[in-house]
């Protein structure tokens, strides 16, 4: 019979005790250490945020757009630091407190091979469960981006864009991510 | 402009020069190093191999079931060491040489968070491209298994089995792996 040692369960309270800036996320009651991102990861994150910010810039209320590190608390066992997140003006007051509590409208993750597992599986399940309407995964190795949209509480792959194509947001109607510019 | 030092492209010839037993795979012209798998990974592999071998013997199947490490050579940029492979009798002559050339009929991978990226994305695309008929992914953290089957040259998710369920093979009809052996 297969037996493995019982792992300690960490909770939101434990997470909040960590030193500010400690590179962890709380994923399924586990403290998962994030490796320091490679410079390319940070450049892609910046290009994404700048493109979204430029699009939102003309609007009277542009909602809440931030990039990591920013804690998003989903429940007692899950506090993540998505690479980029956006909350619409209508929901800003409801979920943006000292930190973000609840599902942003858009979450963007940029894969790195060493921890893609979490972005592709565990975090995706939580984003789906708590109702993140649009979940975009950028893959800087394959130069692709996948957009998952919520429908009846479940994600479906709405679009997978290849290198040099445009990925069209559903939540930010009219906005597209230009992969040619993001991955150049 | 973002410039990164041009990475050397490694090929099958480079790979074959490595010391036998060196813990690498050649994935998309890149040498990817893996540390030893975790204990749970090896325990799952053992249970699955055991069950599959029993089925093979009982049914008089004359295919090959091979444990790792075993190089499976796909093309110039891709030589993998899957966790477990099965080759049907009809395809032994074509694929089973000193090592394996071309697509096994069945490939099994057991995820570990540190390199799930490759199993879920790059290797899956190569398995699909070269015609691995059945691709099973075990996830020891989520305690589930995904079975992808080839249809019109593309994978579709044929079954997602949870803890407590049976995983049903398509290419080995009658082989039903009880996940209770591995997920408590």
- Please report the pLDDT score of residue A5 as a whole number: 53
| Cα distance between residue A27 and residue A25, in whole Å | 6
Contact A117/B113, CB-based, under 8 Å? yes
A182 pLDDT band, cuts 50/70/90, is: very high
Residue B70 lies in a domain: yes
Share of residues in chain B with pLDDT > 70 (%): 96
The boundaries of the domain holding residue B61 are 36-181
- Please report the pLDDT score of residue A127 as a whole number: 97
Q: What is the mean pLDDT of chain B?
A: 92
- Please report the pLDDT score of residue B7 as a whole number: 65
A89 pLDDT band, cuts 50/70/90, is: very high
ipTM above 0.90? no
Q: Which of A31-35, A58-62, B49-53 has the highest mean pLDDT?
A: B49-53
The DSSP letter of residue A118 is: I
| Cα distance between residue A68 and residue B84, in whole Å | 38
Share of residues in chain A with pLDDT > 90 (%): 67
Task: Please name the residue that has the structure tokens 């973002």.
Answer: B2
Cα dist from B29 to A143, B26, B40, whole Å: 16, 6, 29
Share of residues in chain B with pLDDT > 90 (%): 74
B118 φ, ψ (degrees, to nearest 5): -70, -45
A2, A111, A121 ranked by CB distance to B142: nearest: A121
pLDDT tops 80 at residue B2 = no
pLDDT tops 80 at residue A67 = yes
- Please report the pLDDT score of residue A68 as a whole number: 86
| Cα distance between residue A98 and residue B88, in whole Å | 59
Question: What are the structural domains of chain A?
Answer: 35-182 (3.90.1570.10)
- Please report the pLDDT score of residue B114 as a whole number: 82
Q: How close is the nearest chain A Cα to the Cα of B157, in Å?
A: 13
- Please report the pLDDT score of residue A19 as a whole number: 82
Residue B59 lies in a domain: yes
A24 pLDDT band, cuts 50/70/90, is: confident
- Please report the pLDDT score of residue B31 as a whole number: 87
| Cα distance between residue B146 and residue A69, in whole Å | 32
Report the pLDDT averaged over residues B61-69. Answer: 94
| Cα distance between residue B22 and residue A144, in whole Å | 31
| Cα distance between residue B86 and residue B52, in whole Å | 9
Kindly report the CATH number assigned to the domain that includes residue B168: 3.90.1570.10
Candidates A51, A66, A58, A60; CA nearest to A89 is: A60
Q: A2 — alpha (psi -120 to 50), left (phi > 0) or beta?
A: beta
- Please report the pLDDT score of residue A6 as a whole number: 58
- Please report the pLDDT score of residue B3 as a whole number: 43
Q: How close is the nearest chain B Cα to the Cα of A134, in Å?
A: 21
Report the pLDDT averaged over residues B142-158. Answer: 96
The SS3 of residue B70 is coil
Residue B177 lies in a domain: yes
> Which two tokens mark A114?
């060493």
pLDDT digits (tens, 9 = 90+) for B105-137: 999 999 988 889 999 999 999 999 999 999 999
Q: How many domains is chain B built from? A: 1
**Closest chain A residue to B184, measured at CA:** A2
Residue B94 lies in a domain: yes
Residue B147 lies in a domain: yes
> Which two tokens mark B63?
């295919």
Share of residues in chain A with pLDDT > 70 (%): 95
Contact B2/A40, CB-based, under 8 Å? yes
Mutation test of the interface with chain B: which of A29, A33, A117, choosing the one with the most B Cβ atoms within 10 A? A117
Residue B106 lies in a domain: yes
Comparing B137 with A15, which gets the higher pLDDT?
B137
- Please report the pLDDT score of residue B1 as a whole number: 47
- The per-type count for chain B, helices as H runs and strands as E runs, is 5, 13
């Amino acid at each position: 019979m297969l037996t493995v040692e019982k792992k300690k369960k960490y909770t939101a309270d434990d997470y909040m005790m960590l030193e500010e800036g400690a590179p962890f996320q709380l994923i399924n009651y586990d403290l998962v250490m994030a490796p320091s991102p490679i410079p390319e990861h940070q450049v892609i994150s910046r290009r994404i945020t700048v493109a979204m910010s430029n699009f939102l810039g003309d609007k009277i209320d542009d909602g809440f757009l931030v990039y990591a590190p920013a804690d998003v608390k989903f429940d007692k066992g899950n506090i993540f630091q998505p690479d980029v997140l956006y909350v619409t003006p209508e929901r800003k007051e409801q979920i943006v407190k000292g930190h973000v509590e609840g599902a942003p409208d858009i979450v963007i993750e940029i894969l790195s091979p060493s921890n893609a597992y979490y972005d592709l599986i565990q975090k995706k399940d939580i984003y789906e469960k708590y109702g993140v309407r649009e979940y975009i995964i950028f893959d800087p190795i394959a130069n692709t981006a996948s957009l998952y949209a919520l429908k009846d509480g479940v994600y479906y792959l709405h679009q997978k864009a290849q290198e040099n194509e445009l990925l069209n947001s559903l939540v930010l109607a009219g906005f597209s991510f230009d992969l040619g510019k993001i991955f150049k | 402009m973002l410039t990164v030092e041009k990475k050397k492209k490694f090929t099958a010839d480079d790979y074959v020069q490595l010391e036998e037993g060196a813990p690498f795979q050649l994935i998309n012209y890149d040498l990817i190093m893996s540390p030893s798998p975790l204990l749970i990974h090896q325990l799952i592999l053992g249970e699955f191999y055991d069950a599959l071998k029993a089925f093979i013997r009982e049914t008089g199947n004359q295919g090959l079931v091979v444990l790792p490490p075993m190089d499976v050579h796909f093309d110039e940029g891709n030589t993998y060491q899957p966790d477990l492979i099965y080759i049907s009798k009809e395809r032994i002559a074509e694929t089973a040489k000193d090592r394996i050339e071309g697509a096994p009929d069945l490939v099994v991978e057991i995820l570990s968070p540190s390199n799930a990226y490759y199993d879920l994305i790059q290797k899956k695309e190569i398995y699909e491209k070269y015609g691995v008929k059945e691709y099973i992914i075990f996830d020891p953290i989520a305690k589930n298994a995904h079975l992808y089957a080839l249809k019109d040259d593309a994978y579709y998710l044929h079954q997602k089995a949870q803890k407590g369920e049976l995983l049903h093979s398509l290419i080995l009809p009658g082989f039903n792996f009880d996940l209770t052996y591995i997920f408590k």
